[in-house]
């Protein structure tokens, strides 16, 4: 097995024993990048020189000794919507193609503080808008498990990098499923924490009330290591929560005996691929064997999730993306005869098709006369969806659902039909609307394509999500 195919926990141990150096691990990751990138396209930018310097620093830290963080010397990919000082941060968009931040996002700052090695900026749907990583100006990312299929999105580059050994762990963002769904499609683990758990400072906004930074790794344990590093209150983000960080690694070895797990009946209906349903049911029976009590629950407003999500997300996006006008950031059109022409052509050329579609939809639902009918209604539905979860969590400790109604699909298959693409998010968006934490773990394959199981927890109870995810991984003997 190559070093780049190992997980964070294995490598952390090898580093501690002095069996390998961070430089060797980082070289192994870059060798894999050279081998695979032409096909996979997981990265928009790779950072060999600075990564080797960071690896060298990590190795020095080991030589010095003392209490060393688990991430020290571990190569990590960062989604290209998260600011990295001195490294281009493009959001997969032409409009930010030459944007180089002068500061690090808080999450990146924390990872670097713990000694992580940043190997590059991962490919993504433009501004996080998409479910397949086909909406990137850098071209699509392919699924390492089947290169005719999409990697999922929008954090497709992050998930594909981890699955292909082009990074050991990765950072993604999730506005409506963009960590969980690509993790499911690439057969790795991904967690979207509770809204407010990880600082959004330095995360370029798509829909601010839904966006969260989270982790992608080969195992549940690896995600816990990444989350332990990134989580925590940050005075630079007013929506970051003032709650104690429990230490996610500590929650892994708790028994799930007696834990109550809910299966929402509205999620297992027509439209869900029967093969996926079967894999989830098998997975749930494994949890039952470990002592969990499985109960049917109801989330009666589930059918409003996709429509309210796409109204709220586009409304917020239309406002957030108003700042790209060719004056303050990035790309500016040459057509500068007058200010208005400059704004118009900059935005017409700078944004891709999907982004423009959403800006138009978002401006429409916020406009006078339509605001009450669409935006306000969507906000009311959002409250109902959240209250469904509140009621369910009176009866259960965690909820289990599929991540996606379908298997990874072929490149191009849904690109011309935005509604079909939006429906892929049916099981993930309700968590962003409610702010709840959710994880995707692999629960088998169908004809070689991976199936993801979603584990949902109460707000700020990622610990239970980790506990269930880890217990499941152990029961399958996969980790
Ligand atoms: N697919 C969803 C969207 O396009 C979710 C994207 C995300 O979570 N960033 O909005």
> For residue range 302-317, what is the model confidence (pLDDT) as tens digits?
999 999 999 999 999 9
Q: What is the pLDDT of residue 478?
A: 62
Residue 401 scores a pLDDT above 80: yes
Q: Counting Cβ atoms within 10 Å, is residue 386 exposed (0-12), middle (13-18) or buried (19+)?
A: middle
Residue nearest to atom 2 of ligand 1 (CA): 176
Alpha-carbon dihedral angle through residues 469, 471, 477, 479, given to the nearest 10 degrees: 50
Average pLDDT, the chain: 97
* Token representation of residue 142: 């392919």
Q: Is the minimum distance from the CB of 177 to ligand 1 under 6 angstroms?
A: yes
Q: Is the minimum distance from the CB of 190 to ligand 1 under 6 angstroms?
A: no
State CA 56 to chain mean position distance. 29
Question: What atom in ligand 1 is closest to the CA of residue 175?
Answer: 8
What is the whole-number distance in angstroms between the Cα of residue 154 and the centre of ligand 1? Answer: 6
* pLDDT tier at 420, thresholds 50, 70, 90: very high
Q: Which of 131, 155, 356, 421 to mutate to test the pocket of ligand 1 (most atoms within 8 A of CB)?
A: 131
Q: Which of 313, 314, 403 to mutate to test the pocket of ligand 1 (most atoms within 8 A of CB)?
A: 313
* pLDDT tier at 175, thresholds 50, 70, 90: very high
* Token representation of residue 141: 């990312």
Residue in 161, 160, 167, 144 with CA at minimum distance from that of residue 25:
167
Question: What atom in ligand 1 is closest to the CA of residue 178?
Answer: 8
Question: What atom in ligand 1 is closest to the CA of residue 155?
Answer: 9
Q: Is the minimum distance from the CB of 128 to ligand 1 under 6 angstroms?
A: yes
Q: Which of 91, 132, 154, 433 to mutate to test the pocket of ligand 1 (most atoms within 8 A of CB)?
A: 154
* pLDDT tier at 216, thresholds 50, 70, 90: very high
* pLDDT tier at 479, thresholds 50, 70, 90: low
What is the whole-number distance in angstroms between the Cα of residue 334 and the centre of ligand 1? Answer: 31
User: What does the alpha-carbon distance between residue 412 and residue 150 come to, in Å, rounded to a whole number?
Assistant: 9
Secondary structure class of 270 (helix, strand, coil) = coil
Provide mean pLDDT across the span 231-236. Answer: 98
Q: Is the minimum distance from the CB of 316 to ligand 1 under 6 angstroms?
A: no
What is the whole-number distance in angstroms between the Cα of residue 130 and the centre of ligand 1? Answer: 5
Residue 477 scores a pLDDT above 80: no
Provide mean pLDDT across the span 342-364. Answer: 97
* pLDDT tier at 206, thresholds 50, 70, 90: very high
User: What does the alpha-carbon distance between residue 123 and residue 131 come to, in Å, rounded to a whole number?
Assistant: 13
* pLDDT tier at 245, thresholds 50, 70, 90: confident
Question: What atom in ligand 1 is closest to the CA of residue 313?
Answer: 10
User: What does the alpha-carbon distance between residue 370 and residue 7 come to, in Å, rounded to a whole number?
Assistant: 50
Q: Which of 425, 431, 432, 440 to mutate to test the pocket of ligand 1 (most atoms within 8 A of CB)?
A: 425
* pLDDT tier at 328, thresholds 50, 70, 90: confident
- What single string gives the DSSP state of each residue in 296-343? EE--TTGGGHHHHHHHHHHHHHHHHGGG-SSSSSS---S--SSHHHHH
Residue nearest to atom 10 of ligand 1 (CA): 129
What is the whole-number distance in angstroms between the Cα of residue 340 and the centre of ligand 1? Answer: 30
Provide mean pLDDT across the span 64-86. Answer: 97
Q: What is the pLDDT of residue 335?
A: 80
> For residue range 270-282, what is the model confidence (pLDDT) as tens digits?
899 999 999 999 9
Q: Is the minimum distance from the CB of 442 to ligand 1 under 6 angstroms?
A: no
Residue 416 scores a pLDDT above 80: yes
Q: Is the minimum distance from the CB of 425 to ligand 1 under 6 angstroms?
A: yes
Q: What is the pLDDT of residue 353?
A: 97
Residues known to be catalytic? 79, 154, 178
Q: What is the pLDDT of residue 90?
A: 98
Question: What atom in ligand 1 is closest to the CA of residue 429?
Answer: 5
Q: What is the pLDDT of residue 201?
A: 98
Provide mean pLDDT across the span 427-451. Answer: 98
Provide mean pLDDT across the span 456-475. Answer: 97
First to last CA, the chain: 15
Question: What atom in ligand 1 is closest to the CA of residue 128?
Answer: 9
Q: Is the minimum distance from the CB of 59 to ligand 1 under 6 angstroms?
A: no
Residue 385 scores a pLDDT above 90: yes
Residue 36 scores a pLDDT above 70: yes
User: What does the alpha-carbon distance between residue 7 and residue 221 come to, in Å, rounded to a whole number?
Assistant: 9
What is the whole-number distance in angstroms between the Cα of residue 169 and the centre of ligand 1? Answer: 21
Question: Who's near 230: CB < 8 A, 6+ residues apart?
Answer: 107, 110, 111, 171, 198, 213, 215
Q: Is the minimum distance from the CB of 178 to ligand 1 under 6 angstroms?
A: yes
Question: What atom in ligand 1 is closest to the CA of residue 421?
Answer: 1
* pLDDT tier at 336, thresholds 50, 70, 90: confident
State CA 308 to chain mean position distance. 20
What is the whole-number distance in angstroms between the Cα of residue 115 and the centre of ligand 1? Answer: 30
Provide mean pLDDT across the span 440-449. Answer: 97
Q: What is the pLDDT of residue 329?
A: 80
Residue in 429, 416, 427 with CA at minimum distance from that of residue 357:
416
Provide mean pLDDT across the span 240-266. Answer: 94
What is the reported pTM? 0.98
Q: What is the pLDDT of residue 122?
A: 99
Secondary structure class of 32 (helix, strand, coil) = helix
Residue in 399, 414, 407, 372 with CA at minimum distance from that of residue 461:
399
Provide mean pLDDT across the span 361-387. Answer: 96
């Amino acid at each position: 097995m190559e070093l780049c195919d190992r997980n964070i926990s294995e490598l952390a141990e090898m580093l501690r024993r002095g069996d390998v150096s961070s430089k060797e691990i980082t070289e192994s990751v870059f060798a894999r990048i050279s081998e695979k990138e032409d096909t996979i396209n997981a990265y928009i930018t790779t950072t060999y020189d600075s990564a080797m310097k960071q690896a060298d620093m990590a190795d020095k830290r080991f030589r010095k000794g003392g209490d060393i963080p688990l991430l020290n010397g571990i190569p990590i990919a960062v989604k290209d919507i998260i600011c990295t000082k001195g490294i281009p941060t493009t959001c997969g968009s032409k409009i930010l193609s030459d944007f180089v931040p002068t500061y690090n996002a808080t999450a990146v700052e924390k990872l670097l503080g713990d000694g992580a090695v940043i190997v590059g900026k991962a490919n993504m749907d433009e501004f996080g808008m998409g479910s397949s990583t086909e909406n990137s100006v850098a071209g699509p990312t392919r699924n390492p498990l089947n290169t005719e299929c999409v990697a999922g999105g929008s954090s497709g580059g992050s998930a594909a990098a981890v699955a292909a050994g082009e990074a050991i762990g990765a950072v993604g963002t999730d506005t409506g499923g963009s960590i969980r769904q690509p993790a499911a499609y690439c057969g790795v683990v991904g967690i979207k924490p509770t809204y407010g758990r990880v600082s959004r400072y330095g995360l370029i906004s798509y829909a601010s009330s839904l966006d969260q930074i989270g982790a992608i790794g080969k195992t549940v344990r690896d995600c816990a290591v990444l989350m332990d590093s990134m989580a925590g209150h940050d005075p630079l983000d007013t929506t970051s929560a003032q709650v104690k960080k429990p230490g996610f690694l500590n929650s892994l070895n708790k028994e799930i005996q007696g834990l109550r797990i809910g299966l929402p009946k509205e999620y297992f209906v027509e439209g869900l691929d029967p093969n996926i349903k079967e894999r989830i049911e098998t997975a749930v029976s494994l949890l039952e064997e470990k002592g969990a009590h499985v109960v049917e629950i109801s989330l009666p407003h589930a059918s409003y999730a996709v429509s309210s999500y796409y109204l709220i997300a586009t409304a917020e996006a239309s406002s957030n993306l108003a700042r790209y006008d060719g004056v303050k950031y990035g790309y500016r059109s040459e057509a500068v005869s007058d200010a208005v022409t400059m704004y118009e052509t900059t935005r017409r050329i700078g944004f891709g098709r999907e982004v423009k579609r959403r800006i138009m939809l978002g401006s429409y639902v916020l406009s006078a006369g339509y605001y009450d009918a669409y935006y306000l209604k969507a906000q009311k539905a959002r409250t109902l969806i959240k209250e469904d979860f509140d009621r369910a969590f009176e009866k259960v400790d965690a909820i289990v659902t599929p991540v996606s109604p379908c298997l990874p699909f072929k490149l191009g298959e849904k690109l011309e039909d935005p509604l079909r693409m939006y429906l892929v998010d049916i099981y993930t968006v309700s968590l962003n609307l409610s702010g709840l934490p959710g994880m995707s773990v692999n629960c088998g394959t169908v004809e070689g394509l991976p199936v993801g199981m979603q584990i949902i927890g109460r707000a700020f109870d990622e610990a239970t999500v980790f506990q269930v995810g880890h217990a499941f991984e152990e029961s399958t003997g996969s980790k």
